[in-house]
Amino acid sequence: MTTTDLPRLTALSHGAGCACKLPLATLEQLMASVGQSLGGAGGDLLVGAADGDDAAVLRLDDERALVLTTDFFTPIVDDPRDWGRIAAANALSDVYAMGGRPLIALNLTAWPAALPVELLAEVLRGGAEVAAQAGCPVVGGHSIDDPEPKYGLAVVGMADPARLLTIARARPGDRLVLTKPLGTGVVATAVKRGAPDPAAVAAAVAAMTTLNRDAAEAALAAGVEAATDVTGFGLLGHLHRMLRASGVAGEVDAARVPLLPGAAELAAAGFVSGGTRNNEAYLRDHVDLEAGLPPVVATLLHDAQTSGGLLLSVAPDILGGLVTDLRERGIEPAVVGRVLPARLNDGAPALNAPGAAGRIGVRRLPPPR
């Protein structure tokens, strides 16, 4: 089989990158039925499956805790090495989102027998390259024969049990800080449909292969306690999960949310994934979109991201120092909203709250000048 005879990798997948995740509604139904058997936090298990966080955390002693996660997905770009790099950065991100440092990883691979193994070798080289940047050796793994290619990592990290980042510690008054722009989902969908803008693809690949290491280190240094990474459930989906776990509500200023180059144009042209549509359907009863919000912006707020940035809930008194530190590390953070009190148990609204725990109000963009 010559190179010209090979199918595009994205043509072999039903969904690109994290857009192939189970929908939030399906996942929550699943966890409702098996969550108790998987278990939540207790004793030395500081974060378990039932907690809905980015990774599990097991305390070893007063100063050390293991952070364990796994993530894999179908091709998001056609270049095999870039796919490997993106998938590795995405898997490592769950450790960073907990305030951990990746230690060691294993490959998870599904590969069609009809595709040359040389292509798989490129995928693995890309994954190992990014893992090496994180100081995390890839030491083996597992592979299966599968008609749809898939790749990712199982990662073990280390964290200080007294300085974890979790989704359950957002507090009213906190500001919401995003460390990467949105739009990887619409770019990936354009790639899958064979109509990519090369400049938009290059910008998206650069964002997706950038580790969240520096953002996590800055957050820990500033004293941030609540964080998650933005992946397949989109900005609003991951924010909803953080707010609900914390028993609070929130507000997003759509005008402040950064977008990748070309993302708005691709969304307007209809390059919207099934994963994004699933996010919109699930969040319809949890998000209040202010009248006048452009449909393209609403789509991108739900856009199923892959290897997105960290979403941090930051106390106002440490916000300035965090922003300065992030910028010194080459990250341009965006303060995209705030955390509000949720409604009281008797149904009366708390001051300025948009609704119950987990509910999000989205303000419209200002009119063009």
Catalytic residue set: 18
Q: Which residue has the tokens 């507000």?
A: 251
Separation CA 219–CA 174 (nearest Å): 13
Number of other residues whose CB lies within 10 A of the CB of residue 288: 14
Comparing CA positions, the residue from 291, 326, 308, 327 lying closest to residue 236 is 308
Separation CA 351–CA 182 (nearest Å): 30
Edge-to-edge, what's the strand order for the sheet holding 287-289? 226-229, 310-314, 175-178, 334-341, 248-253, 360-363, 287-289
Question: How large is the angle between the packed helices 213-222 and 316-328, nearest 10 degrees?
Answer: 140
Comparing CA positions, the residue from 343, 265, 338 lying closest to residue 297 is 265
Residues 6+ apart with CB under 8 A from 3: none
Separation CA 318–CA 252 (nearest Å): 20
Comparing CA positions, the residue from 177, 203, 310, 179 lying closest to residue 265 is 203
Comparing CA positions, the residue from 354, 100, 48, 88 lying closest to residue 227 is 100
